[in-house]
Amino acid sequence: MPAATSIGGDGRRWWWRLHVTVMATCLATRACSGATTLHYKWVVENIFWSPDGQQNMVMAINGGFPGPNITARVGDTIEVELSNNLNTEGVVIHWHGIRQFATPWSDGTASVSQCVINPGQTFPYNFKVDKAGTYFYHGHYGMQREAGLYGSLIVEEGDEGQKEPFQYDGEFSLLLSDWWHQTVYQQEVGLSSDPFQWINEPQSLLINGRGQYNCSLASRYNSSAALPECSLGGGEQWAPNVLKVLPNKTYRLRIASTTSLASLNLAIGDHNVTVVEADGNYVQPFSTTDVDIYSGETYSVLFTTNQNPYENYWISVGVRGRLPQTPQALALVNYLPNHASKFPVSPPPVTPQWDDYNRSKAFSNKIQGLEGTTPPPPADYDRRIMLLNTQNTIDGLTVWAINNVSLSFPPTPYLGALKYGIKAAFDQTPPPDTFPDWYDIMSPPANPNATTGNAIYTLDFNSTVDVVLQNANTLQPNDSEIHPWHMHGHNFWVLGYGDGKFQRGDEEAFEKTGRRPPLKNTAVIFPFGWTALRFVADNPGAWPFHCHIEPHLHMGMGVVIAEGVDLLGDVPKETLSCGLTGMMFSSGNGEKEGHN
Amino acid sequence: MPAATSIGGDGRRWWWRLHVTVMATCLATRACSGATTLHYKWVVENIFWSPDGQQNMVMAINGGFPGPNITARVGDTIEVELSNNLNTEGVVIHWHGIRQFATPWSDGTASVSQCVINPGQTFPYNFKVDKAGTYFYHGHYGMQREAGLYGSLIVEEGDEGQKEPFQYDGEFSLLLSDWWHQTVYQQEVGLSSDPFQWINEPQSLLINGRGQYNCSLASRYNSSAALPECSLGGGEQWAPNVLKVLPNKTYRLRIASTTSLASLNLAIGDHNVTVVEADGNYVQPFSTTDVDIYSGETYSVLFTTNQNPYENYWISVGVRGRLPQTPQALALVNYLPNHASKFPVSPPPVTPQWDDYNRSKAFSNKIQGLEGTTPPPPADYDRRIMLLNTQNTIDGLTVWAINNVSLSFPPTPYLGALKYGIKAAFDQTPPPDTFPDWYDIMSPPANPNATTGNAIYTLDFNSTVDVVLQNANTLQPNDSEIHPWHMHGHNFWVLGYGDGKFQRGDEEAFEKTGRRPPLKNTAVIFPFGWTALRFVADNPGAWPFHCHIEPHLHMGMGVVIAEGVDLLGDVPKETLSCGLTGMMFSSGNGEKEGHN
């Protein structure tokens, strides 16, 4: 079986492996940061691949799946020349967790930061990574993330500045995803159909793009197993990840979830783990048997290989928060010099009960900021925005809405429209800052009708903003779902989670807990609950803030915020070649000199 | 069962049925042509539909499949505001057979006449129909035609000018297509994969978007039928077309083939037909039992309801030119007042043997121009271009090539690039006008390697050009395929068909036949044969000329011709918002005033 570090490279066409690292010249010894520019040429296209043993169409980069790993250091510049080799689809790539200070046009969000890259065209992403942590990248147009367009992005601390507040002997990266056999094109049609057709549960869970369908690696632990044991040579695209470790060492496991739908839980058989990082921010370490991870989140955990060194151990990843219909994904911790084919004595860890939300909340509340590495939140806020999350109907279609508005992305990206004052590009009436006091979050909406909209929340630059994400009952009685909300361009402090309807005064309870709010870029709202966030609007640009469940965003579950766009210089013209920004350059109606 | 005239309308959302006919004001009685402007608002999106009884994703217009029928009169202007409501795909629509004199930017071909219309955007097609005939429209980007993006376009003679050289009491339109259950996205990946994955034969043939899969309308004629008899209420999306006729009348049947692959043959049980029109040109009438029709062709035939009026009759459409693996499509000729449920006594006409090419050639040779309606070809040509059709490999992928060049469409459309002299938009070295004399068309290519290219054939304006399409052996021994070539922007005279390799001097045989070359826009080359065409390069613009088999064009089987672009006025800016033409307007690097 291949080592984890080679995952994703198998089958990639060699001539696409261009990866030029240009060392910056150190002008003065003291000033030399060692920062480099990492330059990549990537080509996106659909290919056939077997993520779980069944060949399907996958949206790939440079002929492989998942996309190439990027490992950079703080201060590095990443340049990705992204070429679109799809047949009829546009594409963009979002660098999830990278704040894009001063480069909001490189955020890679269709309709927000740029026009999509059309087939045959190339777009230069260019941005600096200024914060160590575990990140990833993914498509941010339609449901191209679910189609397979994602990969790992890791930023290590540089020679200078902050040091990691923990030590380890080696590390592994596990990028988690969920996988369907139906194409996303068909799923998108189902979501926009009357009657509504839900995407249903995934066929498989993938670890670094590898899963098993129609067979199980763990059937021998269960004499009544429904699935036959997998027969593997090790070279298969769907062969499991093998983490080769030495006994009595400490390893860092970087975990990122780019799932389209599933909330996950990860555990290592017979090993506890210590959580040390969340969403690119160090957290107060705590030991746990397992880690909940929602779509859009990343964690680093440490584990020590202090178990029987003559055995191997399973890593299991299972579904939480929805009634699971998908088998666990498995990877192997292979204590060297054991052979990887040595079957673990212990079965894979059992995933906690999917609807044990108290357990989930307890885990989320354990995540606290680490003193000395992350600042505490400002003591007060300048503006509070209440965002009610509801499921609604519009013209017979099922949607999600925020304060009764279902987000519909406009053809002209917000960033260019804001920068050049193209007011016709989107609705200029701001969306509501709150919802009616009388709204009953414990029942299906009394009036299920919502409206579509594309207005944005304009924030005062450098102001402190609180957002309370308020969950509610869906269209079905006694039903409320998990929604992990992800904010682009910012980290926020998670002030707290609560049950029921947020009441003024609940914020006073935050401080009483003595809990140090962690910085994150993604935070979950639990069923029938609320989550309170605080952030500083300090990043000039336009930024989506949305449920990271891809079909939910597709159904309108998001908002767009903007701040300080007037502080930006020119927006690169490559981001403006569509919609009303595309038209704004054409006043010469074609009679300009050609470029030869 | 529904009447043929209502086909395609079932299930269409009523609020999209906007069809405004604006009567032009007649300024003077004598000059009043009655010409009008037909204005349509169309929305393209993927929907679920059951073209053959199995629900699948279909690329639809205004919520229905096939797209709306357009019926216009000579001199009318057609305006279609085409909005793209797809999720991630661009779209264009080509008006097949309409020459687009003075409006080459409305030809609707991605990479040639315009930038694609991106999701959320609207493009105004605007063109005049100047020639009566049977036409259709379809997607011309990727394989969106096969995905279902097509409809009927009929142009009737106006009050003035030419009269139809035949008479009839009523008419029906039958738009023929082939249908696959696999998505075109997956098919496109297969075509670009190593190993090559062919799309295989269609699951069903459709008449006006209606076919039957997994059941047969005709199983009762065959006691050993493999398929059960279809059980139909009549309201199904896949219920067959019913042509309601009165006895002893003459009807015009307009037949158009928008198949992705299949060459077809149509026959009416117990009725002969008289061919009177081909590709929008009147032809010398001849009677026949059945009609061969290749992808991209249209015919009008007349038939007289002179059979037993107490019976109904089948129309059958079957595959020719490839080993059929698809059942016939059937429609019903319903002699009133019989009920449509009255089963025809005679079984559906049997489609002629698929590989009886002599029969096919005999049919094609019967198509002759009609004196008094179409001019004869110019006596001589100014330039002859020999186009060798070969199957090749490039980097392990299977392609089609013309004179060893496989066409790869560039991101900047040719029309804008030519008009504004953007030479970097495509290769400026012209492609070869011929192929080596020594090439052995009877064997697989000795060297299978071809190159990709995007250079074009620049023609002198108003020159007469001969094209000899030379077929050859594919990559498989003893194999050569049918290719129906379609030219945009022009009609050509089909000078003749021949077997084997075209020899100088073969053209002298044309006149000896006494055959009057017909005008067409699509002409087939038979296996191991050649077809000689003549046309006048009299239409300023850039025009694709390609095999109308959609996967073949996708694999590079086409060329682009251009003439007189300097004679055009400004090209509308909406066609230029991509590639290098998109960039050419942005020299102001964004610092222009916004449009409020």
* C-beta separation of A332 from A241 below 8 A: yes
Q: Does A594 touch chain B (CB under 8 A)?
A: yes
Q: How far apart are the first and last CA of chain A?
A: 53
The ipTM estimated for the assembled molecules is 0.92
Residues of A in contact with B183 (CB under 8 A): 183, 185-186
Residues of B in contact with A582 (CB under 8 A): 577, 582
CA dist., res. A88 & res. B426, Å (int) = 20
CA dist., res. A378 & res. A360, Å (int) = 27
Residue B585's pLDDT is what?
Answer: 57
- Burial (CB count within 10 angstroms: exposed 0-12, middle 13-18, buried 19+), residue A353: exposed
User: What's the distance, CA B267 to chain centroid?
Assistant: 20
* C-beta separation of B300 from B282 below 8 A: no
- Answer yes or no: do A88 and B120 touch at CB < 8 A: no
Of A48, A88, A579, the CB nearest to B144: A88
By CA distance, what is A46's nearest residue in B? B189
Interface mutation vs chain B, best among A14, A87, A198, A584, most B CBs within 10 Å = A87
Residues of B in contact with A570 (CB under 8 A): 589-591
Strand stretches in B279-396, DSSP E = 281-288, 290-293, 298-304, 313-320, 329-335, 383-394
* C-beta separation of A251 from A170 below 8 A: yes
Q: Does A121 touch chain B (CB under 8 A)?
A: yes
In 3D, which of B522, B10, B37 has the Cα closest to residue B281?
A: B522
The alpha carbon dihedral of B179, B182, B186, B187 has a sign of negative
Distance to chain A for B327, nearest Cα, Å: 26
User: What's the distance, CA A391 to chain centroid?
Assistant: 22
Per-residue pLDDT of chain A (596 residues; tens, 9 = 90+): 333 333 233 333 322 222 222 233 333 333 445 789 999 999 999 999 999 999 999 999 999 999 999 999 999 999 999 999 999 999 999 999 999 999 999 999 999 999 999 999 999 999 999 999 999 999 999 999 999 999 999 999 998 778 999 999 999 999 999 999 999 999 999 999 999 999 999 999 999 999 999 999 999 998 777 899 999 988 999 999 999 999 999 999 999 999 999 999 999 999 999 999 999 999 999 999 999 999 999 999 999 999 999 999 999 999 999 999 999 999 999 999 999 999 999 999 999 999 999 999 999 999 999 999 989 999 999 999 999 999 999 999 999 999 999 999 999 999 999 999 999 999 999 999 999 999 999 999 999 999 999 999 999 999 999 999 999 999 999 999 999 999 999 999 999 999 999 998 887 777 788 899 999 999 999 999 999 999 999 999 999 999 999 999 999 999 999 999 999 999 999 999 898 888 765 533 333 333 33
User: What's the distance, CA B455 to chain centroid?
Assistant: 24
* C-beta separation of A282 from A289 below 8 A: no
> CB-based contacts of A294: which residues, under 8 Å, 6+ apart?
A257, A263, A264, A321, A482, A484, A522, A524, A548
> CB-based contacts of B122: which residues, under 8 Å, 6+ apart?
B81, B82, B83, B84
Q: What secondary structure does DSSP assign to B187-220, as a single string?
A: HHHHHTSSS-----S-SEEEETTB--SSSBSSGG
Model confidence pLDDT, tens digit, residues B158-179: 987 789 999 999 999 999 999 9
In 3D, which of A321, A358, A367, A357 has the Cα closest to residue A492?
A: A367
Q: Token pair for residue B334?
A: 């319903």
Residues of A in contact with B596 (CB under 8 A): 421-424
- Answer yes or no: do B577 and A587 touch at CB < 8 A: no
CA dist., res. B562 & res. B565, Å (int) = 7
- Answer yes or no: do B421 and A57 touch at CB < 8 A: no
Interface mutation vs chain A, best among B59, B109, B189, B592, most A CBs within 10 Å = B189
CA dist., res. B40 & res. B93, Å (int) = 13
CA dist., res. B405 & res. A408, Å (int) = 43
Q: Does A438 touch chain B (CB under 8 A)?
A: no
Considering only the C-alpha atoms of chain B, give the largest distance between any 2 of them, rounded to a whole number of Å.
Answer: 77
Rounded CA Rg of chain B: 23
**What DSSP designation does B13 have?**
-
CA dist., res. B455 & res. B428, Å (int) = 6
Q: Does A194 touch chain B (CB under 8 A)?
A: no
* C-beta separation of B96 from B548 below 8 A: no
